[in-house]
Chain A
Amino acid sequence: MDFLNALALITNYILLPGFTYGSQLALGALGVTLIYAVLRFSNFAHGELMSFGAMICILFTWLGQSYGISFGVLPTALIFLPIAIGFTAIYCFFIEKFVFAYYRRKKSDPIIFLIASIGVMFFTAGLIRFIIGPSDQNFNDGVRFIFNVREFKAFTGLDEGFGLKTSQAITILTTIILCSVLFVFLNKTRTGKSMRAFSDNEDLALLSGIDPNKVVLLTWVIAGGLATFAGVLYGLDKIYKPFIFLQMLLPIFSAAIVGGVGNPIGAVVGGYVIALSELFVTFAYRKVLAYLLPESMEPAGMMQFLSTDYKFAVSFIILVIVLIVRPTGIFRGKTI
């Protein structure tokens, strides 16, 4: 019984939030990694793309709500997600056309691409704050919990329990579906294969008649779509804050690099590694140990490795360790 109680605690405070946050990071990191694999640069504007997608979704949700549209127990925002993806994809299309196409033609240094992406980041950040303002927006209007801690306790009779938020279930399920679709697309379809070929060896891909513009545009559209998903799911799960997305850039890059830049599987694994280790390191284990250890050995302190304030530092420390010990990442990405 004590063991189950400890497990319920860990599920509530580490596993569920960890897998949710990990899914959001994984979707973000997938976008970063795809851009890296095809265009060979680290896209600093990706956080703002997530923010842009979420903003469009919020605007349409408000519009829909004013006409009385609702999705029952699920958040209304999900109905308008496809529209938001469409808008973000169009925005990405314009970015590619007006900014990056030129440097691609000139075969500029990757660092020039990076600086250009910072220009895009600035512009998008300004655009978002100009349209929706810098303040927080809560747009999750569905049922909050599928089952909460109290119901779980009453159902199982345990002393501790965990609640499952609707947004958590949606996030994890959506990520599983999206990743499966993406992997099938990359591995089985002709277009997906041409994308991989292009990423693997650009010259050979050109020789075999793959249209580079098509591949690059498609990559941007997919990255924009993934960014929208990540932004909206993060906003539903927590809250939409325009400035948080620049801070999320660091864990997202860490996830992509830890998994191996340019490797989609690595990005997903990296996302979960970063998110779970953030929570494992900053969780106070006192209550868990109280259940697991005999009464005489009950710990006095909080039994916490690091204060929760340093959550973001964890992703950074992991990043540095990986960069020093194994710079190609867990899954040997396309680097160095």
Chain B
Amino acid sequence: MNDVMRRSLVFSTFAVAIVFIGFIQSWNVALGIFNLCLISATMALGVNIQLGYAGIFNAGVMGFAALGGLSAVIISYKPVSETISLGGLGILICILILLLGTVLGVIVYKSNLSQAYKKILFPLIIIVVLLLLNLIGAPAVERIEAFEPAASGFLGGFGLPIILSWIVGGVIAGLVAYLIGKITLGLRSDYLAIATLGIAEVIIYILKNEDWLTRGVKNVNGLPRPVPYEIDLQESTWFIELCQNFGFPLVETSSIVVKLSYCFLFSIVVLTLFILSEVALKSPWGRMMRAIRDNEISARAMGKNVKARHLEIFILGSAIIGLAGAMLTTLEGQFTPTTYQPLRFTFTVWVMVIIGGTGNNYGSLIGGFLVWFLWVEAEPLGLYLVELITSPLSETNPLRTQLITNAAHMRYMMMGLLLLLVLRFAPKGIFPEGR
């Protein structure tokens, strides 16, 4: 019973905080924060599966989230027929060459040729593939990127409903996680963290520089929405009547309705994932995972294939992070590769999981909620604190103005302090992992 009490207490405190923001700032702000809280909680659930269930340190959260964002672009953006006719074929051939090269590489790796042959064949395959890509891909890419670079200059997407990208984002992230996991999962924990940190950086570099795919740093704007637009609501008669009947302000209500519909969609995802994770954790599979985490050697002695299980969990967690990334890009309606920073994505999500309690799904939920809430509210809070501290100084004092302009960065300090304090005084987090 104690557990239930504790959970309801913490979650209702959070609800009060959101309602408080609703009254103090505005309901629009409160719902905006809550939507991102839901996305953060999704990411935290994904990381919790890796970090909590299996003890895998994935420092590449940012990369998988970005892959989710990429899939949102590819699925929902309408195809740009001109660029496809200009270079679509070249890109298609390149993808086929890449696939063929990978298959060839795997065949050589699995074959029973001697090591000496393999050492010659591998670089040969890589060089030939790179050469072919340069020969066929470079001119195609050049043609695509030269087409109206200010407005387009990329292939576009499939023009399908953006909701579909949530699933596709998960699948793409899962596939990439399979490749990465195959290479890096044998590594010791801190090497794994460094390697995944690197992979995430590489993914972001690719997204920033391959303009034919994502328009690079020029960003993709105006992704279609899964929910109605505010402007359409404001013009439809039923909505105007509704507002008049209840006496709501039209513009504000329309944006609240849009945010509520997002909130509804995200809540479905979070609840489904949460229930699935809880079921998985309580199942024999979950127990096996925790057994592997707590004592790898004895789990292996019981005949468990540790490497395969780790790969499984790495793919699963990364797919959920990819899904969350697609949700984030859907909410923002644009894809901006430069916003993917490790501090904001990877390490903040770690803080969420650790503060909530590693290994506990309730913990990941509340960790995602609370940490995102603090992340957003740190700005007004920091500003208030700085103004309080520097109030003896005059209005134009350079030190004061400097500190006030930088007050928003207090959030990093707060995250660090929070993580250090929790790690030191409550290492099991808000909700300790149950036995």
Interface residues of A (CB under 8 A from B): 41-42, 99, 102, 110-112, 114-116, 118-127, 129-131, 133-134, 243, 246-247, 249-250, 253-254, 257, 307, 309-310, 312-313, 315-316, 319-320, 323-324, 327, 335-336
Contact = CB atoms under 8 A, between A and B. Distances in A.
A116 to B, nearest CB: 6
A125 B195 contact: no
Contacts of A102: 424
B202 A313 contact: yes
A257 B191 CA distance: 9
Interface in B399-423: 402-403, 405-407, 409-417, 419-420, 423
A64 B425 CA distance: 42
B161 interface: no
Contact of B423 (A116, A129, A131): A116
A320 B405 contact: no
A120 B421 CA distance: 11
A121 B199 CA distance: 20
B158 interface: no
Most-contacted residue by chain A among B190, B193, B194 (CB, 10 A) = B190
Contacts of B412: 122-123, 125-126, 129
Contacts of B354: 115
Interface centre among B193, B403, B410 (most CB of A within 10 A): B193
A122 B410 contact: no
B343 interface: yes
B178 interface: no
Contacts of B424: 99, 102
11 contacts: A115-B354, A122-B343, A122-B347, A122-B351, A122-B415, A126-B411, A129-B406, A130-B409, A316-B199, A319-B198, A335-B188
B194 A253 contact: yes
Contact of B201 (A129, A309, A312, A336): A312
* 3 smallest beta-carbon distances between A and B, as pairs: A123-B416, A126-B412, A122-B416
B209 A307 contact: yes
Contacts of B427: 112
Interface string B71-85: 000000000000000
A119 B347 CA distance: 9
Contact of B414 (A99, A126, A257): A126
Interface in B169-197: 183-184, 187-191, 193-195, 197
Contact of A119 (B189, B406, B416): B416
B332 to A, nearest CB: 21
A313 B409 CA distance: 29
B64 interface: no
Nearest to B351: A122
Nearest to A250: B198
A137 to B, nearest CB: 13
B427 to A, nearest CB: 8
Interface of B: 55, 57, 183-184, 187-191, 193-195, 197-199, 201-202, 205, 208-209, 341-343, 347, 350-351, 354, 402-403, 405-407, 409-417, 419-420, 423-424, 427
A130 B194 contact: no
B425 to A, nearest CB: 10
B187 A125 contact: no
Q: Which of A99, A243, A246, A323 has the most CB of B within 10 A?
A: A323
B208 to A, nearest CB: 7
A313 B410 CA distance: 31
Nearest to B55: A111
Contacts of B193: 42, 114
B205 A121 contact: no
B420 A99 contact: yes
B413 A130 contact: yes
Contacts of A247: 201
Given A122-B413, A122-B415, A250-B194, A320 B201 contact: no
Contact of A319 (B195, B342, B406): B195
A129 B403 CA distance: 10
Contact of B190 (A41, A125, A327): A41
A132 B315 CA distance: 40
B194 A42 contact: yes
Contact of B343 (A42, A111, A125, A133): A125
Nearest to A116: B423
Contacts of B411: 126
A115 B350 contact: yes
Contacts of A123: 412-413, 415-417, 420
Contacts of B187: 323, 327
B406 A118 contact: no
